[in-house]
Amino acid sequence: MTSLSPQDQAVEIQEHHEESHPDHRMFGLATFLVADAMTFAGFFAAYLTFKAVNPLLPGAVYELELPLPTLNTILLLVSSATFHRAGVNLRRSDMQRCRRWLLLTAVLGLAFLVSQMVEYFTLPFGLTDNLYASTFYALTGFHGLHVTLGALMILIVWWQCRTPEGRVTADNHFPLEAAELYWHFVDGIWVVLFVILYLI
């Protein structure tokens, strides 16, 4: 807002406004996550409808192996807990521990992605084989995209709180809290996805 014409008064008001403006970014993020959840809800609804009304073509029924996805579920749930620990330590201004927990969370997230890739390569069907296969890949792939973004965010936050002068400090924990909320959301979606896709 560098003004072309002198508007000292406006600038003055703006400064006043900046300091009195409470931070609503978490609220905005939460609203966005509601929207994101609706995208998943659409996919889930499509999957369940397909399953209910569209009989699979002969020979197209695949049993999914459970061990790997169960491991994935555990990985994500543990990573939620570790992220929470990172947040607790940040609020205690213990940057050392905060970074350690963050790194652990990122590693767990990446392990999830690797394990997901392993599952993809061992599955007996490809993306375009049949309706079931396509829906499976669309759902897990869209979720995997979210995990990838989340892992990137964690690494960025990790990078940002490496020094006391970094962007994320005990005074500014919005980036970390935003990433944390997002990560919990992605975990929650995975649990629903796991139940719907693998257990039902």
For another protein, the binding residues (CB under 8 A) are 1, 3-5, 7, 9-10, 13-14, 17, 22, 24-25, 27-28, 31-32, 34-36, 38-43, 45-46, 49-50, 53-54, 56-57, 60, 127-128, 130-131, 134-135, 138, 142
CB of 68 to another protein, least distance (A): 23
Kindly tell me which of 9 and 96 has the beta carbon lying closer to another protein.
Answer: 9
136 with 60: CB under 8 angstroms? no
Q: How far is the CB of 52 from another protein (least distance, A)?
A: 10
State phi, psi for 128 to the nearest 5 degrees. -105, 15
What is the distance, to the nearest Å, from the Cα of residue 39 to the centroid of all Cα atoms in its chain? 14
CB pairs under 8 A, 24+ apart, for 27-34? 29/178, 29/181, 29/182, 30/181, 33/181, 33/182, 33/185
Taking the complex as a whole, the smallest distance from the CB of residue 23 to another protein amounts, in Å, to 10
Task: Give the nearer residue to another protein in terms of CB position, either 37 or 71.
Answer: 37
Cα separation, 180 vs 36, whole angstroms: 16
Provide the minimum distance between the beta carbon of 187 and another protein in the complex, in angstroms, as a whole number: 19
Q: Which two tokens stand for residue 42?
A: 């659409």
3-state secondary structure 116-179: HHHHHHHCCCCCCCCHHHHHHHHHHHHHHHHHHHHHHHHHHHHHHCCCCCCCCCCCCCHHHHHH
Q: Least Å distance between CB 142 and another protein? A: 8
Closest C-alpha among 191, 200, 186 to residue 152: 186
Q: Which is nearer to another protein, 109 or 144 (CB)?
A: 144
Nearer to another protein, 53 or 199 (CB): 53
Q: How far is the CB of 133 from another protein (least distance, A)?
A: 8
| Nearest residue (CB) to another protein, 51 versus 184 | 51
77 versus 127: smaller Cβ distance to another protein: 127
